[in-house]
């Protein structure tokens, strides 16, 4: 889990995945109009300030704040709307087997400007 926190209770999480290049425009369109019940479920299960960034090569980068990423994933996986959303999104991803949300590769945060600035100021 990410070691840098904003306020002691929340942490940033970053993950990557890969969208098929031939489906990029469709993927963007789907995310321009996410189902309201999906949006509510994400917020209710602890996904805050959740953003997705998509490269022209299909690289998908997600970032969010949460107090417990494992719990947020588990609670979201238990939602019926998530089952439907994952089924609708499945064919957008490489590889297309399994649920897309189970294929996220979490990245380790190795630098945080504010943490290092605070430490340097305390030491100085």
Residues with catalytic annotation? 31
For 22-104, strand residue ranges (E) read 48-54, 59-66
Whole-number Å distance between alpha carbons of 19 and 90: 10
**Residue 17 β-bridge partners:** 60
Instruction: For 18-37, give one letter per residue: b (16+ CB within 10 A) or e.
Output: bbeeebbeebeeeeeeeeee
């Amino acid at each position: 889990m990410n070691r840098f926190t904003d306020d002691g209770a929340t942490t940033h999480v970053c993950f990557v995945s890969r969208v098929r290049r031939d489906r990029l425009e469709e993927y963007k369109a789907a995310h321009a109009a996410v189902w309201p019940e999906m949006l509510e479920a994400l917020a209710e299960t602890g996904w805050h300030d959740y953003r997705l960034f998509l490269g022209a090569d299909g690289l998908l980068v997600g970032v969010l704040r949460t107090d417990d990423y494992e719990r947020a994933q588990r609670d979201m996986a238990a939602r019926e709307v998530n089952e439907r959303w994952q089924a609708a999104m499945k064919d957008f991803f490489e590889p297309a087997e399994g649920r897309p949300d189970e294929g996220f590769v979490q990245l380790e945060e190795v630098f945080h400007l504010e943490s290092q600035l605070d430490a340097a100021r305390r030491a100085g």
